[in-house]
Chains A and B, each alone.
Chain A
Amino acid sequence: MLPVSLDGSLERLRREGRIVIVGASLAGLRAAETLREEGFTGTLTMVGDEPHEPYDRPPLSKQVLLDRVPADHTKLPRRRPVDAEWRLGVAATGLDLAARRVRLADGSELDYDRLLITTGVRARPWPQELEAELDGVFVLRTSDDAAQLHRRLSAGPRRVLVIGAGFAGSEIASACRERGLDVTVAERGAAPLVGALGGVVGEVAAAMQREAGVDLRCGITVTGLEGDAAGRLRCAHLSDGSKVEVEVAVVCLGATRNTEWLADSGLGAGPRGIACDAGCRAFDVRGIVTDDVFVAGDVARSPHPLFGYQFLSLEHWGNAVAGAEVAAHNMISASADRRPHIWTPSFWSAQFGVNIKSVGVPPMGDEIIVTQGSLSERRFTAAYGHHGRVIAAVTFDQAKWLGFYQHLIERAAPFPPDFPTVDRRPEGRHPVPAGFPDPSLPSHGPTVTLSGHSPSDRRISFTPLRA
């Protein structure tokens, strides 16, 4: 219901305005639904660079590679009809803030009254271009990527190399082992998942991989991929001087924000994403917030009161949904009715038969304490502490406890937690260092990135958290 005090222009925007959403994936779709849900009756245009309608990405590295669901069968359900004009298979190439106009790759232009940017991220490719083009070298981000990788895995390659043991790489290695394929995993850090969950939990992940038969090599980088005369991948060279014969390599070196199309737009967009305020309104490069350009999903970075108001960028499914709902609401609301996007970061990963879930920002943690269960049984809950408060938690096959820890994080409960745990803890209740790598070193592991306090920050290097 619109209060009578709303000025005419907002009412008109809601009735006959033009809204363009660039990015037709999870965030874009949920935003479109929310706009219609909240009574927007104007024209809505959805622009997507992929030719597919919005689909769900998490199954691509799990169900799809395990041969349970075809790669083109993960389309997202609609909560309601969105009555949009879909421009799929056409990337946006430019933005004119003053004219309120988006340029598309086919030369056409779209005028808008409100713009929502949900262009997300793409897989970071193998840096050596000629090597990346070898037959057998893959990335996994899109359903087309998944279809190709699935086809190749089904052909039964003699050995698969996974480069990078973050969540995606670990899930792919898990799927390969489950399909009976030999896998080598090369990880630059000291353990899998170390950038996202730290060394203590990383050691558990390493044990899981080795027990499942993964040839896990940590503290190792891949220095080169070599093909045969026909351009097929034949082997990989590692930084310890060894060589692994592989027919398939999956490059899992994290993601790059899709912001290049905004380079000269004047928006505060860079390699770490597009800075926006807690209401999802984009900043321009001067640090002034816009009132007609909104951002949501993986490409957004916004300040979070729970984490020192640092800008957070989150490659999380739930963040895309929550951010899209807030952005859509705020796009068509008066300033007093706007809501903040202060979703508590949460994610999950299924690998090697274990359900890993997390809440909060683990890489902010200095210390970790296992509060329930045991690391050796791979069924536990652990809390991360920072400056005497609980900042994050992780569970391995103990998801039902996570809501409790989320509550602790949201009310800045003391760390180590002062409650008696449900288990007897033979080691006592003493936190240990969480074992995160030096944050000034680039890492592909974390899907939560603390990216400083400046909205116009264009640096690609990390600012050390504990310098």
Chain B
Amino acid sequence: MRLVVDLNRCQGYAQCAFLAPDAFTMHGDEALMFDSQPDDRQWEAVLRAAEACPVKAITVEGPGGVPAGERSGASGVA
């Protein structure tokens, strides 16, 4: 699994950090740090985080190289 966050778009709502804390963590009050290639076992959590992002800043490519948007209709916005 791979992911990237458009940090121009990110406004630090931190929904992702609640939903997938192993992949997304807040650094200070507002800065987001993410793991670009989290373990595939976090797939469901990461997908929920991407869907919950209020500004749709998270792009995910699923395990096996299938872009999340093509597989399940999840947000693939960047």
Q: Please list the residues of chain A having a beta carbon within 8 angstroms of any beta carbon in chain B.
A: 30, 55-56, 58-59, 62-63, 66, 68-69, 73-81, 317-318, 321, 346-348, 350, 353-355, 357, 379, 397-400
Contacts and interface: CB of A to CB of B under 8 A. Distances in A.
A68 B35 contact: yes
A182 B11 CA distance: 32
B44 interface: no
A317 to B, nearest CB: 7
Contact of A348 (B2, B8, B25, B67): B8
Given A62-B33, A68-B33, 10 more contacts: A73-B36, A77-B3, A78-B2, A78-B61, A79-B67, A79-B76, A354-B28, A379-B29, A397-B30, A399-B11
Interface residues of B, number: 30
Contact of A355 (B31, B37, B78): B31
B31 A350 contact: yes
A81 B64 CA distance: 12
A318 B7 CA distance: 9
B51 to A, nearest CB: 15
Interface in B1-44: 2-4, 6-8, 10-12, 25, 27-37
26 contacts: A62-B33, A63-B34, A63-B35, A68-B25, A68-B35, A69-B35, A73-B37, A75-B36, A76-B36, A77-B4, A77-B59, A77-B60, A79-B61, A79-B67, A81-B65, A81-B67, A317-B6, A317-B7, A318-B8, A321-B6, A321-B78, A350-B27, A350-B33, A354-B28, A379-B29, A400-B12
Contacts of A400: 11-12
Contacts of A347: 8
Nearest to A321: B78
Given A354-B31, A355-B31, A75 B37 contact: yes
Contact of B33 (A63, A80, A81, A397): A63
A347 B60 CA distance: 21
